[in-house]
Structure 1
Amino acid sequence: MIDLKKHIGIALAYFLVVALMGVLLRLYVVTSLPFNYKFLLHAHSHTALLGWVYLGLTTLIYKIFLSEAEKRKLYKRIFIFTNVCILGMMVTFPIQGYALFSIIFSTLFLFASYWFSWFAMKNIPQKFKNRFSWKLIKTALLYLVLSSIGPWAIGGVMATLGPESIWYKTSIYFYLHFQYNGWFILALLGVLFYFFEENGIVFNPQKLKSFFLLLNFGVLFTVFLSVLWFTPPIIFYILGFIGAVAQALAFFDLYFLLKEHFPILKKSVQPRAFFLLKIAGGLMVVKTLMQIFSAFPYVANLAFHLKDFVIGYLHLVFLGIVITTLLAFLKYFEMLRLPKSFVAIFLLAFVTTESLIFYKAIAFWLGLPFFQHYYLCLAILSCLFPLAVGILFFKHIKSLYLSA
């Protein structure tokens, strides 16, 4: 028997390391610290995406859809191999950045993700194969695989055109786009629909088909928004705008699909988890609007020159939508607890740091006053993240110890 709560404990350990790395990155601007900023930034982003969120999602998918497949030994091998890759990246990136050993471990991780995707699609029990929830999960896994084109391309670009080429950033943004908008979002939506299916909710097949097509059309076409930073031909802006509108229509459809069933969700999910889901839903509206506006040349150019808009957007999606939803689902499926202190401190950290990040971008854009101790304030408020995650992690470990 696999104790999946231990696997979530490992994912939370990565989450804590990510939060501590984030504080160091913020302190780097305030005082002299003995590390390479870019190297640690690579470690921070890789551990966040591939350590904490990837493990959280794959463990959740295994518990819900694959635990009945009786393939525990194979899943354990995949899990161990994945963690070797994550630990390798976490150690090598801060030391050498993109170099031999970090590239080896990040490449091996791609194979680990392919292995899990193959494992899930091959071993899904028959009873799930025709469910809409599994259709979303399967599509999310396809986007996970598709996103890996970005890292593969980076190696070729570095060897031939160099890091100054437009293809270098384009490869990175391609990867991030299909991670955030494809793999993360669709996997979480799959878990959400699984909840409703298990509660006996039957949706109109035509409405599900419309939502699914609009959602995927939006994911595929909003990739054009990722290349607007180098001012491409106007057709790229048009295609990106069409994709952003399609995604907005998809979530509009989703809202009306689920609206009458929200009372069931509220009744079934613990209040703090439901509160996090409401926050994620509200921020999804903000994200969708930001995507639509970013298709306009003026806004796209603004985001390129004021990086804090992009940083704020990525943190909004990652911390405000993906992580809050993931935590709510992990709580619902009894894989962790959500202490009140964690929720309060985490949301305080998120709101205050996001406000400062966007304030800086808006201040430079509109020529507003920029206060003297901005970076120190941002660093101090960022310390709330490891405090919150530390509470969550150690209470989770304590619960594992007490139940042993």
Structure 2
Amino acid sequence: MISIKSHINVSLGYFLMAALLGVLLRTFVVSPMPIPINYRFIVHTHSHIALLGWVYIALTSLLYHLFLSKQGLHRKYGRIFWFTQLCLVGMLLSFPFQGYALFSIVFSTLFLVASYWFTGFFIKNVPKLLKGTNAYRCLKVALWFMVGSSVGPWAMGPIMTLLGPESIWYRLAIYFYLHFQYNGWMVFALIGLLIYFLEQHRIMMSPITFKVFFWSSGVGIILSSFLSALWTGPGLAFFLLGGMGAILQLVGLLILIRFCYVNRSLLKSELTTLQYGVLVVVSVLLLSKMLLQLLSSLPYFANLAATIMDFTIGYLHWTFLGVISVGVFFFLEYYKLIKLTKLSNLMYLLGFVFTEVLIFYKGMAAWQRWPLVDGYLMYLAYGSVLIPIAILLILWRSNTRVKGIV
């Protein structure tokens, strides 16, 4: 029998490692390390373990738990899970020491195979009754976006061989992958899980409302991928298509938020005060993300985001640490796979907000030629420490019966 809670513990373990690597990276520029490390190699490790270890394992475990756990597929799913762990451990043991090279590329490629395996497994085995739901439609599309995002990694090998890593196509391949991972797979999967939650409590969208939401969001995700290419200085058509995609995504989100707001009394009756508060936070973060995305479709701001990397880094962390990770926390808490407390939630949000303010402040300083405050890098490193502390609190509280706010 598979213990999904243990799988979630594994995913949180990866998140903790990624967060500690983030602290290491920010400490690296403040004080000398006692052992030699390659900064760029650690960046690769940090990003891969955060995306593929924490979020991927947490989301796929949730999907199995909610849709497949009663189908008697434990052994088949177990093979997929452990094969995925082999890939992740391989990346952990190769990226810090060689960056993108033979072994890390092999394990990254095997991970893509694992994600295809899970996608086929999920789509094939979801019960027919659930296949007719709006939630399944969203989740199936999210999984296909994940599969589609792998075009980026597959293209990187030929690009490096033929054009070299300095080619704009190399960076475009990375941005293509990140766009469809973040917006297509992770965010849309979270939306699918929210619709599943609503449907389980008989809070149903009308067919026409769902149709408008679904197509606006799906087409918007595809078109907004053009925003990832605006830094190359393309023609006006790219700005128009990217802007249209951002508008469509925003329209889809506003439809969903309005639907939830109209049914807020029913939501409050099904959620604890903490859970409802977390859901509101995720909604605000996601709406802010969509507005920033729309802003980046304007030529001036597209150029600004391309030339000042702190804005790009801040936006990516806003999406990953804010929208996606807090969204995952909500579902794990609701389905009793972790235990969030006021203290762990507050600690995490403080670390997130504090570091985001500092990152965007540095971008604003570069833009407006403001001076940086003394000790900026040290403050950023200190703020980063709050996030692994919060994750440790979640792990500890989720695996003990100790009562209290911690």
Normalising to structure 2: TM-score of the pair?
A: 0.97
1:120-149 Cα shifts (integer Å, max 9, x gaps): 000011110110000001000000100000
Match of 2:261 among 254, 259, 262: 259
Partners of 2:401 and 2:224 in 1: how far apart?
A: 42
Q: Provide the C-alpha distance between the structure 2 equivalents of 1:249 and 1:346, rounded to a whole number of angstroms.
A: 30
**Alpha-carbon distance in 2 for matches of 1:2, 1:392:** 21
**Conserved in 1, the CA contact under 8 Å of 2:340 and 2:397?**
no
Gaps of 5+ in 2: none
Change (3 A) 1:91 1:398: farther
Q: Which amino acid aligns with 1:4?
A: I
Distance 1:274 1:53 in 2: 21
- 2:90 aligned with 1:88: yes
Letter in 1 for 2:106: I
1:194 and 2:169 equivalent? Answer: no
Query: Does residue 225 in structure 1 map to residue 227 in structure 2?
Result: yes
Q: Distance in 1 between matches of 2:195 and 2:373?
A: 46
Partner of 1:9: 9
- Give the Cα–Cα distance (whole angstroms) in 2 for the partners of residues 360 and 202 of structure 1: 44
Do 1:16 and 1:393's aligned partners in 2 also have CA atoms closer than 8 Å?
Answer: no
| CA deviation profile, 1:67-94 (whole Å, cap 9, x unmatched) | 1221110000000000110111112101
Query: What is aligned with 1:27?
Result: 27
Cα displacement string for residues 225-268 of structure 1 (whole angstroms, at most 9, x for unaligned residues): 00111111121111101111111111121122222212222221
**Alpha-carbon distance change, 350 to 192 in structure 1, aligned in 2, over 3 angstroms:** same
Partner of 1:167, secondary structure, is: helix
| Residue 37 (structure 1) aligned with residue 39 (structure 2) | yes
Identity of aligned residues (%): 46
- Matches of 2:19 and 2:269, distance apart in 1: 32
What is the rounded CA distance, in whole Å, between the counterparts of 1:230 and 1:154 in structure 2? 18
Give the whole-Å Cα distance in 2 for the aligned partners of 1:370 and 1:376.
12
Structure 2 counterpart of 1:347: 349
* Offset of residue 107 of structure 1: 0.3
Please state whether the residue corresponding to 2:2 is helix, strand or coil.
coil
Deviation at 1:281, TM superposition (A): 0.5
> Is the contact made by 2:25 and 2:43 (CA closer than 8 Å) also made in structure 1?
yes
> Which letter does structure 2 place at the counterpart of 1:255?
I
Alignment-mate amino acid for residue 253 of structure 1: I
Q: Is the 8 A contact 2:340 2:398 kept in 1?
A: no
Per-residue deviation at 1:365?
Answer: 0.3
* Deviation digits for residues 12-68 of structure 1 (CA, Å, limit 9, x no counterpart): 110110110000000111122221111000000000000000000000000111112
Checking the alignment, whether the CA contact within 8 Å between 2:257 and 2:283 is kept in structure 1 is no
Show CA shifts across 1:169-203 (max 9, x none): 00000000001100011111111111111111232
Match of 1:213 in 2: 215
Structure-2 separation of matches of 1:318 and 1:95: 25
Measure the CA separation in 2 of the matches of 1:82 and 1:273: 30
Q: Secondary structure at the match of 2:70?
A: helix
Matched, 1:324 2:318: no
Spell out structure 1 runs of 4+ moving beyond 4 A. Answer: none
